[in-house]
Amino acid sequence: MSNVKKLLASALMATLVSSAVLPSVSASEVKPSVSVAAQKADDYGFNLDHPFTDVGSRYEDAVAFLYDAEIINGKTATSFGTNHNLTRGDAAVILANTLGLDTDNAPDAGFKDLNSRVAGSVNALADAGIVSGKTADTFGTSDPLSRGAMAKFLSLSFELEAYAEQTPFSDVGGVFAPYIEALYGAGITTGKTETSYGTHTNITRGDFANLLYRSIMFMIDNVYLPYAESVTSISSTSFSITLKEAAPEDYTAGNIWDMFMVDIELEDGSSIYVNPSSISLSPDRKVLTVNHASYDLAGKSGTIWVDNEISVDFNYMN
């Protein structure tokens, strides 16, 4: 699994766990369509509510989901700016939030037109190979984002290139063609009309919200997210996490560990960051065993938390 998919899966897991109670839904039960995506968002426990007065029914589910997931904000406290053009800088901030990128420590991409609000996001996305500048030293922070560039941003963010299919659009060509074909093949876009994608048209904040929402729903259906059923303290230097479903064969123990949030909370209220010395999966791929010999819990008591939901108490005072 690539670094971007690991980041996306981790970000989705963190968002879903912190915002909702997760049901067990297999990919075969849900297809990535707008109406089903709305039902699935509701199933995941999102409030599907927002404070904006300028969001019509066409954008309601997407804006509410993204707002509740703390991925987007409005132009003002009560206005989302649905019909306003989305700037490249704002798109970068939204995507970095979606992917959970490290915007504080990303290397400088060399763009001279970044303000403090967007710099970390643009640098992190550039470091991940998702965005590039309009020139070598200009990102185009305040410029409107075109639908073609939007396709590139989303396709690379969600690694959709493998889903590419030939489109019926007569205005698709050039550098953006493979990315538009990827969105079309994944069922995320159907174009402005049956024969026009609107490659060079500026995208509005409402349309971007819809396409980002569909992309997230598509990935929830197609990226494996491990859910913990229970956690067991084995010894002062190891514990195990039992998964609700067996992990796919192409996921390593390390991949799965990276998608969990684990916190060891000691009786005195302090917390320990778990840095495993080794991680392994059981033969049935349902139990993840974590060894942390570098930090021995002997002489301590507390609680092991997984995704802020599943926990087990331990006591190695004696």
What CATH number has the domain bearing residue 242?
A: 2.60.40
pLDDT bracket for residue 258 (50, 70, 90)? confident
Between these two residues, 111 and 17, which has the higher pLDDT value?
Answer: 111
Which of 43-52, 131-140, 169-178 has the weakest average pLDDT?
A: 43-52
- Count Cβ atoms below 10 Å from residue 314 Cβ, excluding itself: 21
pLDDT bracket for residue 6 (50, 70, 90)? low
Q: Does the structure show a pLDDT above 90 at 39?
A: no
Q: Does the structure show a pLDDT above 70 at 135?
A: yes
What mean pLDDT comes out for the span 10-35? Answer: 39
231, with CB counted inside 10 A (0-12, 13-18, 19+), is buried
Could you tell me if 146 and 187 lie in one domain? yes
Q: Does the structure show a pLDDT above 80 at 295?
A: yes
Q: Considering 204, 222, 240, which residue would you say is the last residue of a domain?
A: 222
Could you tell me if 130 and 65 lie in one domain? yes
Could you tell me if 181 and 271 lie in one domain? no
Paired tokens of 258: 């990276």
CA of 76: how far to CAs of 97, 118, 128, 273, 310, in Å?
A: 19, 18, 30, 38, 37
pLDDT above 70 as % of the chain: 85
Could you tell me if 218 and 307 lie in one domain? no
Q: What pLDDT was estimated at residue 26?
A: 28
pLDDT bracket for residue 113 (50, 70, 90)? very high
Could you tell me if 241 and 201 lie in one domain? no
Q: Report the sign of the C-alpha dihedral through residues 9, 15, 21, 23, in that order.
A: negative
What mean pLDDT comes out for the span 70-83? Answer: 92
Q: Which of 100, 103, 159, 104 is nearest to 129 (CA)?
A: 159
Domain count, the chain: 2
Between these two residues, 116 and 250, which has the higher pLDDT value?
Answer: 116
Distance between CA atoms of residues 221 and 204, nearest Å: 26
Could you tell me if 248 and 301 lie in one domain? yes
What mean pLDDT comes out for the span 220-228? Answer: 80
**176 DSSP assignment:** G
Could you tell me if 139 and 284 lie in one domain? no
Q: Which domain holds residue 239?
A: 228-315
Q: What pLDDT was estimated at residue 12?
A: 59
Average pLDDT value for the chain: 86
Could you tell me if 303 and 185 lie in one domain? no
Q: Does the structure show a pLDDT above 80 at 239?
A: yes
What mean pLDDT comes out for the span 302-316? Answer: 93
Q: Considering 177, 193, 222, which residue would you say is the last residue of a domain?
A: 222
Q: Does the structure show a pLDDT above 90 at 207?
A: yes
Could you tell me if 90 and 182 lie in one domain? yes
Predicted model pTM: 0.71
Could you tell me if 136 and 172 lie in one domain? yes
Identify whether the C-beta of residue 144 lies closer than 8 Å to the C-beta of residue 158.
Answer: no
Could you tell me if 215 and 232 lie in one domain? no
Could you tell me if 157 and 252 lie in one domain? no
Give tens-digit pLDDT for 162-174: 999 999 999 999 9
**205 DSSP assignment:** H
